[in-house]
Structure 1
Amino acid sequence: MVQEGQSQGREKAAWWFQVRLWSVALISIALIAACFILSCVVTYFKCDRTGKKLSELQTHYSSLTCFSEGTSVSEKVWGCCPSTWKPFGSSCYFVSTEQNFWTKSEQNCVGMGAHLVVINTEAEQNFIIQQLNESLSYFLGLSDPQGNGNWQWIDKTPYKENVRLWHQNEPNFSAEECASIVFWNQRGWGWNDVFCDSSRHSICEMKKIYL
């Protein structure tokens, strides 16, 4: 009877061991499956957003130019701009050859999936001015709608926390409620307040598309 009890005890222990083993295996499989599904969902939404953005751009542009921007964990990352735009950092830039007043210039940028340029760093401005003509003036995405010194970037970037590269003693006239970038002899490139209804060239900016 003792041996039979011991045998049953060993069988029961072996059975519980198998149960625990299978439980661990099933839990592991479930976790792996959950991670796989989550990865697929994240990839789907990422690809879906990229696809929608590319679809929007294709309504305005026939081709994109892409540049390798390093690698991610699983694949290369490519930053793309419309072929006629210039890439810098995470943005693409377009210098308009047409002259318009500020509001119309912004509308034209929006029509191309962009907005008037927002300059965040001196390095960004140094890149942009390489694309400009020193004899011309270009609207920025910066304005003072109330003429009270409350300058605002078109994309809601905080003005007071951002770089400010005005020419010396500018802005200097409350009725000039829009900003431009212009080259002045002896001073180089800098920002100047101008009338919003004056006719000027402009610079558009959009975020790169990453593939």
Structure 2
Amino acid sequence: MNRQGSVSPGTAAPAEERSCSWMKPWLFLVSALAIKTALVTVYLVAPFSRKGDQPTALQQAFTEWRCISAEPQGKERGWMCCPKGWKRFQQSCYYISDDKMSWAESVQNCTGMGSHLVVINSKAEQVFLSKELQASSRGPNFYIGLRAEKVGEWHWVDQTPFNVSAAFWRKGEPTKIDAEKCVVIHSPEAPPNNWNDIRCDHHHRVCEAAAVTV
């Protein structure tokens, strides 16, 4: 006769013991997923282009990157990266300048970093940028990539068609004054409606580039 609690060869283990053995692989997987979830942000110091890839102008301009884990969805690449110090929103990276430049200098500066003056495509993007600019305390006015060659004829720097229904002018703006052909986000104004047309003098700027996936 077997002692109480022991199991003779060929006899099934008690239900409690079978349950614990079955749970061990699942406990391991849950633990692994928890660790992976915790490591969603990494810093890279490399252009990280793969063999055969042509690095973008943005990748060539920067060596330090902040990467966020993205949903792979069956894709080979699962990290979304922006240059260190840039802000990320959805699929884009944004640079908020500390210094001031004219409109033409701002365009050149953004281009030199592999980006362009920001092109705002949605209310969500507009609200995100407005809050970031308010928090920056750098100044009241930040160039965006919108300019008029002629009064009232607005054009984005990347040739995106100007959509009147997706414009975020302050009340009373644009003024349609011939000398005021450049557009800024006026950060003290509550979002979303805080665009001003303004003289193309020296102001801060926001540059935008597509996030790099690796």
* TM-score computed with the length of structure 2 as normaliser: 0.68
Q: Is contact 1:142-1:154 (8 Å) kept?
A: yes
Partner amino acid for 1:158?
A: P
Cα deviations across residues 31-89 of structure 1 (Å, max 9, x unaligned)? xxxxxxxxxxxxxxx9567x3225x4343212111111101325352111101111101
2:187 equivalent in structure 1: 183
Cα deviation, residue 189, structure 1: 5.5
Partner amino acid for 1:52?
A: Q
SS in structure 2 at match of 1:145? strand
SS in structure 1 at match of 2:104? helix
Indicate how the Cα distance of structure 1 residues 48 and 166 shifts in structure 2: closer, same or farther if over 3 A, else same: farther
Q: Does 1:208 align with 2:211?
A: yes
Matches of 1:57 and 1:75 in 2, distance apart?
A: 21
Matches of 2:191 and 2:205 in 1, distance apart?
A: 21
Q: Is contact 1:149-1:174 (8 Å) kept?
A: no
Q: Does 1:53 align with 2:55?
A: yes
SS in structure 2 at match of 1:126? helix
Match runs of 1:25-40 below 5 Å: none
1:62 equivalent in structure 2: 63
Match runs of 1:108-187 below 5 Å: 108-133=109-134, 135-146=139-150, 148-160=151-163, 163-172=166-175, 173-184=177-188
Matches of 1:92 and 1:59 in 2, distance apart?
A: 15
Cα deviation, residue 125, structure 1: 1.3
Report which of the two structures shows the higher radius of gyration computed on alpha carbons. Answer: 1
Matches of 1:131 and 1:178 in 2, distance apart?
A: 21
SS in structure 2 at match of 1:130? helix
Match runs of 1:66-105 below 5 Å: 66-105=67-106
Q: Is contact 2:156-2:162 (8 Å) kept?
A: yes
Matches of 1:185 and 1:124 in 2, distance apart?
A: 16
Gaps of 5+ in 2: 1-48
Matches of 2:174 and 2:164 in 1, distance apart?
A: 17
Matches of 1:210 and 1:161 in 2, distance apart?
A: 32
Partner amino acid for 1:127?
A: F
Partner amino acid for 1:207?
A: A
Indicate how the Cα distance of structure 1 residues 86 and 58 shifts in structure 2: closer, same or farther if over 3 A, else same: same
State the percentage of identical aligned residues: 35
* TM-score computed with the length of structure 1 as normaliser: 0.69
Q: Is contact 1:182-1:192 (8 Å) kept?
A: yes
SS in structure 2 at match of 1:155? coil
**What is the CA RMSD across the aligned residues, in angstroms?**
2.4
Matches of 2:75 and 2:210 in 1, distance apart?
A: 23
- The count of corresponding residues between Structure 1 and Structure 2 is 162
Indicate how the Cα distance of structure 1 residues 164 and 64 shifts in structure 2: closer, same or farther if over 3 A, else same: same
Matches of 2:98 and 2:198 in 1, distance apart?
A: 19
Matches of 1:128 and 1:72 in 2, distance apart?
A: 28
Q: Is contact 2:58-2:115 (8 Å) kept?
A: no
Indicate how the Cα distance of structure 1 residues 70 and 62 shifts in structure 2: closer, same or farther if over 3 A, else same: same
